Amino acid sequence: MSSKDKVVELLKHANIEVNGARPWDIQVHEERFYDRAISQANLGAGESYINGWWDCQALDQMFDRILQARLDQHIQPLWLLPHAIKGKFVNTQSKRFSKKVAEQHYDAGNDLFQVMLDKNMQYTCGYWEKAENLDKAQEAKLELICKKLLLQKGMKVLELGGGFGGLARYMAAKYGCHVTSYNISKEQVAFGKAWCKNLSVTFMETDYRDAKKLPAGSFDRVVSVGLLEHVGYKNYKEFFEIIAHALKEGGLALVHSIGSNETVCCTDAWIDKYIFPHGHLPSIKQLGEAMEKLMVVEDWHNFGADYDKTLMAWDAQFTKGWPELKDKYDQRFYRMWRYYLLSCAGVFRARQMQLWQLVLTKYGAVSGYRRPVL
């Protein structure tokens, strides 16, 4: 059976047609696409999409159907074995490698993220329970985090992985907290410093692991939003040790992270190459083993379905704002970025990835912990 016949047959199981008329059908412009898709799975399919070899009006719907039909389990190219072996035996999220994702992705350009994100510059999942738009969903996420942490005026908060400074700004401005934020992205730190001027926020342009040099028990609260995906399973134990070290007695920590339904040692090859180098999504098993004897899980909240809505909102704003960006970013970048946003939307819609918020203590909340309601 030819590669073309295999692709056509596989896609039929997901009710996707080649050169069909529905939004989730694919339009093939270059026959070489079939060999790449069969031999290299998503890496080949994604690269051939960037090259313009095929199109799809609704990539999110296409990926949702592919994953709901479990077609990804039918293509396991042998050439990806070295990628998996590297993830198994090499600490690709060590200090030596950790800066690559900042340089390639987070430092891509603040103009890009200002066009795509909400007014609070949140590059993580929004909370859509009562929200009707991206701004409201992201503000609800910020408020949810602060309420879960039971923040009070004057508290000292350690933030591991600060993004553009939106959460630190919110905690300092609305709750009167003193925030110390660790981040290795040069562009994000510069943005955050300017944005949080005159607020009690200190930005440290350094690796989160440097926080273990701080005096023990220095902070009332520790928060980490969107960093754990870049920590790597070989470093999870150290990550939670740093949180435990930083927390005062009776303190609370909150960790917000994408999560995987299964335990793996590496990420998707296309995402690894083009979007998040050396990234890794934790599983429940991996987090449980890393937290054992260190942290008590007071609350584990999954609102992964909300990431679908967040990604679709990002894509809508990115495409709307593309005229402002196209002189700096080329057409290949446009196709790459939309493939990233919409494929991830499809993955979350198919519920193959989750979004977790964990509230943690060192020894357990004395009187118990109840999740606040917005």
Go through the domains of the chain in sequence order and give each one's CATH number: 3-76 (no CATH), 93-361 (3.40.50.150)
| Amino acid at position 334, single letter | Y
* pLDDT on residue 68: 94
What is the C-alpha to C-alpha distance for residues 143 and 369, in angstroms, rounded to an integer? 18
**pTM, full prediction:** 0.93
Instruction: Reply yes or no on whether 265 is catalytic.
Output: no
What is the C-alpha to C-alpha distance for residues 207 and 95, in angstroms, rounded to an integer? 7
Beta bridge partners of 355: 258
Q: Which residues of the chain have pLDDT under 70?
A: 74-92, 94-108
- The residue with tokens 């508290």 is 155
* pLDDT on residue 98: 52
* pLDDT on residue 36: 93
138 neighbors 120 (Cβ within 8 angstroms): yes
What is the C-alpha to C-alpha distance for residues 317 and 302, in angstroms, rounded to an integer? 25
Neighbours of 344 (CB within 10 A): 24
* pLDDT on residue 374: 76
- Angle of helix 59-68 relative to helix 331-349, nearest 10 degrees, comes to 40
* pLDDT on residue 83: 44
Neighbours of 6 (CB within 10 A): 16
Label residue 161 left, alpha or beta by phi (over 0 means left) and psi (-120 to 50 means alpha). left
What is the C-alpha to C-alpha distance for residues 60 and 49, in angstroms, rounded to an integer? 14
* pLDDT on residue 279: 87
